[in-house]
């Protein structure tokens, strides 16, 4: 089995929404993780889009043990190695390349690769995957796309991400082939920059209360 489905499911079913965050310092990452955990959100995807991301993953793993901190925007085998070394508990990629899938196969950290078309989904089934990110969800067909492919790909379940907010999240969570969604709306840039952790905790609590 290419994908550690059991562990990935534990991580993704911990809550209906996995926050996708970009942090400017490790300390900011720790504060943000604490604010999310206070609102009942434990699994957090720290994207490798900022220079501070790997340090933040390391710092969150040490300082916020209740959090399950993963790495997002993992595009290359090197980034996968770096994220694993930093203590990432799961790996998320917007897509999938053969190189990345090969690297994931020899890693003990569960991987959530992205797919966007029927052919990509078929390729991922051939690779042994059952749980996929669907990215960018809202822009490539949204909940209607996932509803139409459910009978064609009954073995697959999804974490749609991209363009999801509190206004449309229920459309996704009501689908049987959706485990959870990813979204950045729990950590608004302005609130994070201002250190307004109460707002983050409030948004996290609202998201945690949604039913998957």
Residues that are catalytic? 45, 133
Q: How far is the CB of 9 from ligand ELE (least distance, A)?
A: 19
| Tokens standing for residue 154 | 């009954």
The CA distance from 111 to 76, in Å, is: 13
| Tokens standing for residue 107 | 């890693």
Do residues 17 and 183 lie in contact, with contact meaning Cβ atoms separated by under 8 Å? yes
- The HSE-up count of residue 193 (CA atoms within 13 Å, CB side) is 3
The CA distance from 206 to 199, in Å, is: 11
Q: Is 20 in the site for ligand ELE (CB under 6 A)?
A: yes
Q: Is 163 in the site for ligand ELE (CB under 6 A)?
A: yes
Q: Is 70 in the site for ligand ELE (CB under 6 A)?
A: no
Residue holding tokens 């203590």?
Answer: 87
Q: Is 184 in the site for ligand ELE (CB under 6 A)?
A: yes
Residue holding tokens 């993704």?
Answer: 12
Task: Pick the closer one to ligand ELE by CB: 65 or 95.
Answer: 95
- The full length of the chain comes to 212
Among 86, 162, 178, 192, contact with ligand ELE (rule: CB under 6 A): 162
Among 3, 15, 47, 79, contact with ligand ELE (rule: CB under 6 A): 47
Residue holding tokens 């979204």?
Answer: 183
Q: Is 19 in the site for ligand ELE (CB under 6 A)?
A: no
Residues 92-111 that bind ligand ELE (CB under 6 A): 92, 94
Q: Is 115 in the site for ligand ELE (CB under 6 A)?
A: no
Chain residues in the site for ligand ELE (CB under 6 A): 20, 47, 72-73, 92, 94, 135, 161-164, 182-185
């Amino acid at each position: 089995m290419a994908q550690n489905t059991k562990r990935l499911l534990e991580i993704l079913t911990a809550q209906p929404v996995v926050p996708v965050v970009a942090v400017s310092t490790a300390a900011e990452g720790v504060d943000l993780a604490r604010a999310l955990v206070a609102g009942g959100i434990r699994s957090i995807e720290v994207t490798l889009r900022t220079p501070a991301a790997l340090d933040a993953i390391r710092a969150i793993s040490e300082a916020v043990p209740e959090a399950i901190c993963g790495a997002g925007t993992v595009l290359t085998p090197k980034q996968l190695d770096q994220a694993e070394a930093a203590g990432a508990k799961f790996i998320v990629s917007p897509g999938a390349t053969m190189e990345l899938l090969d690297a994931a196969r020899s890693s003990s950290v569960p991987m959530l690769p992205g797919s966007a078309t029927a052919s990509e989904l078929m390729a991922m089934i051939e690779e042994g995957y059952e749980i996929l990110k669907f990215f960018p969800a809202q822009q490539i067909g949204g909940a209607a796309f996932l509803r139409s492919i459910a009978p064609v790909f009954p073995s697959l379940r999804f974490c749609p991400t991209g363009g999801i907010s509190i206004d449309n999240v229920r459309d996704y969570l009501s689908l049987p082939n959706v485990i959870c969604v990813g979204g950045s709306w729990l950590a608004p840039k302005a609130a994070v920059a201002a250190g307004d952790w109460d707002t983050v905790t409030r948004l996290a609590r609202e998201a945690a209360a949604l039913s998957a």
